Structure 1
Amino acid sequence: MTKGPRKPDVVNDREARLKAALRANLARRKTQGRARAAQDDSPDQDGPAARAIQDGPMPEDEE
C-alpha cells in the first residue's frame, strides 16, 4: 500500500515554526521597547542640558 503526500504535516510544521518565530519576535520587540522606555526616563548624560549643568553658565549668559 502506498502512502499519500504528507502535506498536512508540512503545513502544520510550517505554522508551528511561524507561530514560534512570531512569539520570539514579539518578545524581542517588547524587550527593546522596555529598554528604550527606561533609557528615555533616565537623564541624558551627554545632552546639552547635562553639559550646561556640568560646565556652568555659558559665556554669552555672563554680562
Structure 2
Amino acid sequence: MSDGTREDKAMTREERLAAQLRGNLRRRKAQARAMAPARKAGDAADSGEPGLPKTPRDS
C-alpha cells in the first residue's frame, strides 16, 4: 500500500467524521427548537414538570 492511498483513506475518514458531526449538530438544533416552546412557558422546575432523572453514573 502506498502512502498516497493511506492519506486518501485518512482524509476520507476525516470527511466521514466531519459529516457525522454536522448531522449530529443539525439533530441537536432541531431538538432544541422543538423544546423551545416548552421553555417559553417556563423552566421544567418552575412548571412542575418532571425533568431528567438524577441517577448516579456507573464507573
TM-score > 0.5, shorter chain as reference: yes
Q: CA deviation digits over 1:7-53, x for unaligned, max 9? A: 100110000000000000100010000000110123446354x46xx
- Between 1 and 2, higher relative CO (CA 8 Å, sep ≥ 6) is seen in 2
The percentage of aligned residue pairs carrying the same residue is: 4
RMSD: 2.0
Number of positions where the alignment pairs a residue of Structure 1 with one of Structure 2? 46
Counterpart-to-counterpart distance in 2, 1:26 and 1:34: 12
What TM-score do you get using the length of structure 2 for normalisation? 0.63
Mind listing any 5+ residue stretches in structure 2 that lack a counterpart?
49-59
Large movers: runs of 4+ above 4 Å: none
What TM-score do you get using the length of structure 1 for normalisation? 0.60
